C-alpha cells in the first residue's frame, strides 16, 4: 500500500496540500510534460482551440474581402471618371453646373406660349452624347442629380440581370451600371419607367437615394435630369419611401387608365412626406430603385418622379 504522502501534492501557487486519489497519482506525474509537438501529453485539443483558429480564418477572409471591395470601389470611381470625361462633364462632383437659360418665345394672340421647355445644367453637349451613344448602343440617357454623386450613364439590356454586375463595356464590375427596366420604352418614357442601381457602401451609384428619407434633403434635391443626344428632361420627385420586393412597385403595364391612376395614388400615398406634387395618368413617370437592407431582408428604397419639362440639348 502506498503511503499517504503519495496522495498529497502541493499547489505551486497557494502552497497547500490537495488530497488526490492514489489512482490518479501517475497521471498527475505526467501532467505538464510536453512532447516534441509542443502540446501537452494526454491533453485533448480543446474546442476553444478550434474556435480560435476559425476566428482567425474568418478575420483573415473578412479583411481580404474588405480590401478587395475597397479596390473595386476605387476602380469603379476611376471608370466613372473616365466616362464623365468622355462626355466633357467637368468633374466627378459637378457642384454647380452652368445653367442654360430657356430661350424667350413670342406671344400668341396676347398670350405667352407654354412650350414646356426648361432650364438645365449644361454638363455636356449634343455632339459629345451623340458620339457616346454610337460607342455604346445600350446607352439610354445620362442621369444627373445636382450636388450628389449620382452622375452616371443609364443603359438597357434584354433583361434586368446583364448590367447588374457589369460596367458599360460589358466587363465584370461589382457596382454594375445603372439600367432601365427592359420592359420600358427607352425613347418615349411613356407610362411608368424604372432605373435600377446598387446602394454602394461608399456612397456611389444609388447610395445617395436613402437620404431622401430626410425632407430637407428632398427640398435641396427635388429635381433631377436625364440627357440624351437630342434633349434634356427635367423630373420632379413626388414620392420617396422604403419598401421591399413583396410590393410590386415596379409595375409597368396597366390595362386601363383607371389601373394606372390607382397605382399612382398608391405610390404617392406611400411617401414618407407630402411633396405637394400632383400626377396624372397622362404624365411620364420615372422611378429610381435601389437595395435598402437596413430594416428588411429584401428591402428597397424607391424615388418616384414626374416629367415636368424638356428642352433640346445644345
End-to-end Cα spacing for the chain: 109
Cβ-Cβ contacts under 8 Å for 145 (sequence gap 6 or more)? 151, 208, 221, 224, 225
Contact 277/184 with Cβ under 8 angstroms? no
DSSP type of residue 101: P
Calpha distance 289→205 (Å, rounded): 11
CA–CA distance, 307 with 277 (Å, rounded to integer): 11
For 184, phi and psi rounded to 5 degrees?
-90, 155
Question: In which element (H, E) is residue 237 found?
Answer: strand 231-244
SS3 231: strand
In sequence order, the β-bridge partners of residue 287 are 194, 304
The single residue listed with the C-alpha cell 413583396 is 246
Provide the greatest CA pair distance for the chain: 129
Distance CA 82, CA 200 (A): 19
Rounded distance between C-alpha atoms, residue 128 and residue 134, angstroms: 10
From the candidates 6, 7, 141, 291, which is the catalytic residue?
A: 291
Q: Is 141 a catalytic residue?
A: no
Q: What's the residue count for the chain? A: 314
CA 138 to chain CA mean position, Å: 21
**C-beta of residue 204 within 8 angstroms of C-beta of residue 149:** yes
Alpha-carbon gap, residue 305 to 238, rounded angstroms: 5
Beta partners for 193? 286
Active site residues: 291
Amino acid at each position: 500500500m502506498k503511503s499517504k504522502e503519495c496522495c498529497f501534492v502541493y499547489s505551486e501557487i497557494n502552497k497547500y496540500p490537495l488530497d488526490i486519489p492514489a489512482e490518479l497519482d501517475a497521471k498527475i506525474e505526467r501532467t505538464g510534460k510536453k512532447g516534441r509537438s509542443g502540446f501537452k501529453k494526454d491533453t485533448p485539443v480543446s474546442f476553444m482551440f478550434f474556435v480560435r483558429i476559425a476566428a482567425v480564418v474568418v478575420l483573415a477572409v473578412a479583411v481580404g474581402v474588405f480590401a478587395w471591395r475597397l479596390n473595386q470601389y476605387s476602380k469603379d470611381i476611376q471608370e466613372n471618371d473616365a466616362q464623365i470625361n468622355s462626355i466633357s462633364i467637368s468633374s466627378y462632383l459637378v457642384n454647380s453646373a452652368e445653367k442654360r437659360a430657356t430661350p424667350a418665345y413670342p406671344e400668341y394672340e396676347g398670350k405667352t406660349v407654354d412650350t414646356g421647355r426648361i432650364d438645365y445644367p449644361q454638363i455636356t453637349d449634343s455632339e459629345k452624347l451623340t458620339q457616346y451613344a454610337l460607342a455604346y448602343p445600350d446607352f439610354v440617357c445620362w442621369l444627373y442629380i445636382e450636388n450628389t454623386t449620382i452622375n452616371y450613364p443609364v443603359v438597357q439590356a434584354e433583361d434586368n440581370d446583364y448590367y447588374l454586375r457589369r460596367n458599360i463595356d460589358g466587363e465584370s464590375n461589382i457596382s454594375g451600371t445603372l439600367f432601365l427596366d427592359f420592359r420600358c420604352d427607352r425613347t418615349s418614357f411613356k407610362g411608368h419607367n424604372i432605373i435600377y442601381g446598387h446602394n454602394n457602401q461608399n456612397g456611389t451609384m444609388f447610395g445617395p437615394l436613402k437620404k431622401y428619407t430626410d425632407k430637407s434633403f428632398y427640398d435641396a434635391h427635388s429635381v433631377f435630369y436625364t440627357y440624351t443626344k437630342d434633349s434634356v428632361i427635367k423630373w420632379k420627385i413626388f414620392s420617396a419611401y422604403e419598401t421591399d420586393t413583396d410590393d410590386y412597385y415596379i409595375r409597368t403595364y396597366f390595362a386601363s387608365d383607371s389601373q394606372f391612376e390607382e397605382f399612382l395614388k398608391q405610390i404617392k400615398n406611400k411617401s414618407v412626406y407630402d411633396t405637394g406634387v400632383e400626377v396624372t395618368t397622362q404624365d411620364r413617370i420615372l422611378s429610381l430603385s435601389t437595395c435598402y437592407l437596413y430594416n428588411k431582408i429584401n428591402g428597397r428604397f424607391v424615388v418616384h418622379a414626374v416629367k415636368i419639362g424638356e428642352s433640346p440639348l445644345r
